[in-house]
Structure 1
Amino acid sequence: MSGNESARAEQPQRRVSRPLAGGLTGLAAVALTTLSLAAPVMATPVTPEEAAASFYAPTEERVAGTHGSVIQLRPLTGDPALAGARNYLVLYRSIDMRGETVAVSGTLAVPDGTPPPGGWPLISWAHGTTGVADVCAPSQDTSPEFPAHDYTSLVRRVQERWIAAGYAVAQTDYQGLGTPGPHGYLIGTAEQRAVTDMARAAREVDPEIGTRWVAMGHSQGGQAAIFTDAQAQRWAPELQLLGSVALAPASHQGIGLQASQLANSAGVAGALTPLTGGAMAFLPLIIRGAQTVADVDPARFLTPRAQSMLGQADTGCIGQLRQADSWGGMAADEVFTRTADLSALTRVLNDNDPSALSFTQPLLVLQGRSDTTVPALATDAMVVQQQAGGQPVQYRGYPGIDHRGVLEASFNDALAWVDTRFGR
Structure 2
Amino acid sequence: MTFCSTWLLVLGAQPASAQSSSPTDRIAERPAFYEPPAVLPANNGDVIRSERAVFYLDALKVFKVDASVQRIMYRSTDRSGTPIAVTGTVLTPNIAHAAPRPIVAFAPGTQGLADKCAPSRQMADGTEYEALPIKHLLDQGWAVVVTDYQGLGTPGVHTYMAREPQGRAVLDSLRAAQRLKGAHLPDAGPVALYGYSQGGGASAAAAELAPTYAPELQIKGAVVGAAPADLDAVAANLDGSAYGAFFNYSLSGLGAAYGIDIDQYLNFHGKQVTRDLRDNQCTTQALAKHPFLNSRFLTVDGRPLTERLKHAPWKAIVADQRLGTRTPGVPVLLSHSRLDDVIPYRVDQQLATDWCRLGTTVKFSTNYVPGHIAATAATSNEGAPWLADRFAGKTAPSTC
Give the TM bin, normalised by the shorter chain: 0.7 to 0.9
Q: 2:297 aligns with which of 334, 359, 362?
A: 334
Give the secondary structure class of the aligned counterpart of 1:293. helix
Residue 332 of structure 1: how far off its partner (Å): 4.8
Structure 2 distance, partners of 1:400, 1:51, is: 39
Q: 1:139 aligns with which of 120, 125, 147?
A: 120
- Mapping of 1:17-36 within 5 angstroms? none
CA contact (8 A) 1:323 1:329 kept: no
What's 1:219 paired with?
197
What's 1:11 paired with?
none
Higher alpha-carbon deviation: 408-417 or 124-133: 408-417
What's 1:57 paired with?
35
Structure 1 distance, partners of 2:117, 2:241, is: 22
Give CA deviations for 1:371-416 in whole Å, capped at 9, x if unaligned.
2122223222322333344332211111134222223223332122
AA in 1 matched with 2:293 = M
Give CA deviations for 1:300-343 in whole Å, capped at 9, x if unaligned.
6545532442212321223233235x3x2433542453385332
Give CA deviations for 1:252-310 in whole Å, capped at 9, x if unaligned.
222343xx4xxxxxxxxxxx66x996552112211122113335453665455324422
AA in 2 matched with 1:193 = R
Q: Residues 397 and 207 (structure 1 numbering): CA distance in 2 closer, same or farther, change over 3 Å? A: same
What's 1:376 paired with?
345
CA contact (8 A) 1:64 1:101 kept: no
CA contact (8 A) 2:222 2:331 kept: yes
Structure 2 distance, partners of 1:357, 1:82, is: 40
Q: 1:390 aligns with which of 338, 352, 359?
A: 359
Q: 1:311 aligns with which of 267, 272, 275?
A: 275
What's 1:39 paired with?
none
1:107 aligned onto 2:89: yes
Give the secondary structure class of the aligned counterpart of 1:292. helix
1:122 aligned onto 2:103: yes
What's 1:79 paired with?
56
Q: Residues 166 and 82 (structure 1 numbering): CA distance in 2 closer, same or farther, change over 3 Å? A: farther
Which structure has the greater CA radius of gyration? Answer: 1
What's 1:165 paired with?
140
Give the secondary structure class of the aligned counterpart of 1:120. coil
CA contact (8 A) 1:72 1:90 kept: yes
CA contact (8 A) 2:240 2:294 kept: no
Give the secondary structure class of the aligned counterpart of 1:323. helix
1:414 aligned onto 2:396: no
AA in 1 matched with 2:66 = G
CA contact (8 A) 1:82 1:159 kept: no
Structure 2 distance, partners of 1:214, 1:233, is: 14
Aligned residues: 351
Query: What is the RMSD of the two structures over their aligned residues, measured on CA atoms?
Result: 2.7
CA contact (8 A) 2:113 2:249 kept: yes
Residue 90 of structure 1: how far off its partner (Å): 0.9
AA in 1 matched with 2:197 = S
AA in 2 matched with 1:98 = S
Give the secondary structure class of the aligned counterpart of 1:356. coil
Which blocks of at least 5 consecutive residues in structure 1 are unaligned?
1-48, 261-271
AA in 2 matched with 1:334 = F
Q: Residues 411 and 280 (structure 1 numbering): CA distance in 2 closer, same or farther, change over 3 Å? A: closer
CA contact (8 A) 2:335 2:366 kept: yes
Q: What TM-score do the two structures reach when normalised by structure 1?
A: 0.75
Q: Which has the higher contact order (CA 8 A, sep 6+)?
A: 2
Give CA deviations for 1:36-92 in whole Å, capped at 9, x if unaligned.
xxxxxxxxxxxxx9896111103213x233110111111123437962321111111
Structure 1 distance, partners of 2:176, 2:240, is: 37
CA contact (8 A) 2:245 2:277 kept: no
Q: What TM-score do the two structures reach when normalised by structure 2?
A: 0.79
1:241 aligned onto 2:219: yes
1:202 aligned onto 2:171: no
Give the secondary structure class of the aligned counterpart of 2:257. coil
Structure 2 distance, partners of 1:200, 1:389, is: 27
Residue 114 of structure 1: how far off its partner (Å): 4.1
AA in 1 matched with 2:256 = T
What's 1:292 paired with?
256
Q: Residues 82 and 215 (structure 1 numbering): CA distance in 2 closer, same or farther, change over 3 Å? A: farther
What's 1:251 paired with?
229
